[in-house]
Amino acid sequence: MLDKTGIAKRIAKEIKDGYYVNLGIGIPTLVANYIPDDVDVILQSENGLLGMGPFPFEGEEDADTINAGKQTITKLPGSAVFDSAMSFGMIRAKKVNLTILGAMEVSENGDIANWKIPGKMVKGMGGAMDLVASADNIIVAMQHINKAGESKLLPKCTLPLTGINCVKKIVTELAVLDVLPGGGFKLLERAPGISVEEIIKATAGKLIIEGDIPEMVI
């Protein structure tokens, strides 16, 4: 089974040289730490920055320089700052190659729910709805089952949706899965030490298993 770092490391392998990438809050943010040195990517932060760098050194924090999670960050050489309308313009126009975000639920047809729990959580969707509605390449980083022990990979989402038919790939502590265009979670890889049976048990939606499923290499 993977921990959060393991999920981030596995997702980092999906990032190709030359990509512009938007990383959501949580596990997706960790992905930045594991992008190989020979893979040249530019991180987009939807509050208006291309070329997001690591956290500043202590004492060098700048209140005017934050990421979309409102954390103090740095700007790398070659970075560019722009306003919020342009930021979502480049997202809508599919200039951002890959979006990685967390989810509460994903359905077998690629619907995603990650912004609201009625009666409990009313924080808002931020930029998530714009991102999932526009990006061609969306990877979800999440736990396979929730705290109550229920599968988060469902036939149909039960929570209010963030977007429909949009998730392409899911990486969890148990597995890597593709969401097929015609519907269904296709099992691609098992986490180290995890059996196919365990993944079947943890997946409520339609699971497609073809041939031997390799253990993932991180």
Partner 1 sequence: MNKVVSDADEATRDIEDGMTLMLGGFGMCGIPEKSILALVKKGVKNLTCISNNAGVDEFGIGLLLHKHQVKKMISSYVGENAEFERQLLTGELDVELIPQGTLATRCMAAGYGMPAIFTRAGIGTEVAEGKEIRNFNGKDYLMELAFDADFAIVKAWKGDRLGNLVYRSTARNFNPVMAMAGKITIAEVEELVEPGELDPDNIHTPGIYVHRIFKGENYEKRIEQRTVRKRDI
- Give me the residues that bind partner 1 (CB under 8 A), please: 45-49, 54-73, 75, 81-85, 87-89, 91-92, 111, 122-130, 133-134, 160-165
Q: For the CB of residue 215, give the shortest distance to partner 1 in the complex, in Å.
A: 33
Q: For the CB of residue 142, give the shortest distance to partner 1 in the complex, in Å.
A: 19
**In whole angstroms, how far apart are CA 181 and each of 24, 53, 156, 163, 167?**
24, 35, 15, 15, 10
198 is catalytic: no
- Indicate the residue among 118 and 211 with the shorter CB distance to partner 1: 118
Which of 46, 105, 108, 189 is flagged as catalytic? 46
Q: Which residue has the tokens 């126009």?
A: 93
Residue type, 98: L
- List residues bridging with 215 in a β-sheet: 190
Residue type, 52: M
Q: For the CB of residue 194, give the shortest distance to partner 1 in the complex, in Å.
A: 32
* Coil/strand/helix, residue 41: coil
- Indicate the residue among 159 and 188 with the shorter CB distance to partner 1: 159
30/3 Cα distance (integer angstroms):
12
36/13 Cα distance (integer angstroms):
8
- Indicate the residue among 70 and 147 with the shorter CB distance to partner 1: 70
Contacts 24+ apart (CB under 8 A), 89-96: 90/44, 91/22, 91/44, 91/46, 91/127, 91/130, 91/131, 91/134, 91/135, 92/130, 92/133, 92/134, 93/134, 94/134, 94/135, 94/136, 95/20, 96/20, 96/21, 96/22, 96/44, 96/135
- Indicate the residue among 48 and 178 with the shorter CB distance to partner 1: 48
Q: For the CB of residue 101, give the shortest distance to partner 1 in the complex, in Å.
A: 13
Q: For the CB of residue 36, give the shortest distance to partner 1 in the complex, in Å.
A: 20
- Indicate the residue among 47 and 143 with the shorter CB distance to partner 1: 47
Q: Which residue has the tokens 């560019």?
A: 80
Q: Which residues are catalytic?
A: 46
